[in-house]
Structure 1
Amino acid sequence: MGPQRIVCMTEEPTETLYLLGEQDRIVGISGFTVRPARARREKPKVSAFTSAKIDRILDLKPDMVIGFSDIQADIAADLIRAGVEVWISNHRSVDGIIDYIRRLGALVGAGHRAADLATTLERRLADIRARAATLPRRPKVYFEEWDEPQISAIQWVSELVGIAGGDDIFPERAVMSLGRDRILADPLEAARRQPDIIIGSWCGKKFQPTHVAARPGWEDVPAVRNGELHEVKSPLILQPGPAALTDGIDALEAIIQGWAHRQA
């Protein structure tokens, strides 16, 4: 049976449970949830990312609350003290996302469906990787999560860039799970690495390519010189769930394949 009344404090458990046909277990969601769109119409919104309406969550009488990362640790602690069972996942890689889907499915008694979904996603990634292998050259990619200060890509995003055919210019930073550890203190550090493509995904606000292109000292960056500045909407790529492995990587692949076509 598993938990019957689940509150999802981030989007990825909501999207996953809907994909598994287990949405009736969800009694509350994050206000930042956009996938699937129907969840916003069907479920009460009881949390943000760094805050939550604890009393409202308790009123829903959940038998499990699901969240993500150390950033929600204080919310989790308050709920645990109130007697609620809490699962905080902390996966940061593509393999971690696949494993998360399997674990969440098993938790709600949908292990077989979750395994099928995970396998489908793995095959999809393999197909994209195979297409990327035919590129005559792999572009250097700067993925920016935030602009002031500049923050480079988290691990699963860096890995997806690689699967789609590009090379993240900050692979050494991608393994750092906390955003503060991926801050570029030197505003010219990304420019010096001469990315062929710049991808912006500024969480919560629209990417402004003209602002990036106008940064002092960036005029000779290949991506700026050739107009290769693109946006991937943050709900597609910055949630460690199914969206990143479907629409998120599709957007990355389209950008990289488009660049390759223009280079040819």
Structure 2
Amino acid sequence: PDIIIGQGTCAVCSAYTNEITRALEILENKPVVEIMDPHSIDDILSSITTIARRLDREKQGIELTKALQKRIHDVKNTNYSTRPKTLCIEWVEPFFTAGHWIPQMIEIAGGTNLLSKSGEHSRKMTIDEVVSADPDIIIMMPCGFDVNRTRSECADSLTKNPKWINLRAFK
């Protein structure tokens, strides 16, 4: 390859820095390596521009970034009648909040983010924290899982804990 694009945000997700380093050891011709480590939506948009520039596709990168910024602007400027308390769970056993850019996305989409902060790493949380927050909406989004795996693993974890059934999000 001419370029390898990886991420330094999470070792569970796609190609992580350590895996890329090991792969480079066996390649004769060393490609350019671009490691993205976004913690906000602006960081993601900046990463798009950086990658486009590396691929000599700066014009397309700028067009894509502008299109995404417009979509974000349109969603942000929607009038919402309510701002539901929303909890995004990034990992199931143990529970982890979804950090980095996810809290920003919740706020932009009209929700009130719970138990995590924009730009910060995802963190372990307890069921008691979830119960205290009593979210209106819970979004199960385990890192690297497809929908079917999310359903099966989350259903298992949630049905085993009676504290879930009293949450507003489950009523």
The CA RMSD over aligned residues, in Å, is 2.1
The equivalent position to 2:61 in structure 1, one of 94, 97, 114, is 114
Distance 1:183 1:138, change over 3 A: same
Q: CA deviation at 1:162?
A: 1.0
Which digits, 9 at most, give the CA deviation of each residue in 1:171-193, with x for residues without a partner? 33x5333x5xx111x22211110
- Report the counterpart of residue 93 of structure 2 in structure 1: 148
Using CA pairs below 8 Å that are at least 6 residues apart, which structure has the higher relative contact order? 2
Match status 1:68 vs 2:7? yes
Q: CA deviation at 1:160?
A: 0.8
* Separation in 1, partners of 2:8, 2:22: 15
Aligned letter for 1:183? K
Could you tell me which runs of 5 or more consecutive residues in structure 2 were left unpaired when the two chains were aligned: none
Match status 1:128 vs 2:67? no
Q: Is the 8 A contact 1:152 1:183 kept in 2?
A: yes
Q: Structure 1-normalised TM-score?
A: 0.54
Which digits, 9 at most, give the CA deviation of each residue in 1:193-248, with x for residues without a partner? 010111111232223458536622233321112xxxxxxxxxxxxxxxxxxxxxxx
Match status 1:103 vs 2:50? yes
Which digits, 9 at most, give the CA deviation of each residue in 1:124-156, with x for residues without a partner? 01101111xx21221100111121111111221
Q: Structure 2-normalised TM-score?
A: 0.81
Q: Is the 8 A contact 1:102 1:111 kept in 2?
A: yes
Could you tell me which runs of 5 or more consecutive residues in structure 1 were left unpaired when the two chains were aligned: 1-61, 226-264
Q: CA deviation at 1:158?
A: 1.6
Aligned letter for 1:162? E
* Separation in 1, partners of 2:108, 2:168: 22
Q: What is the number of equivalent residue pairs in this alignment?
A: 157
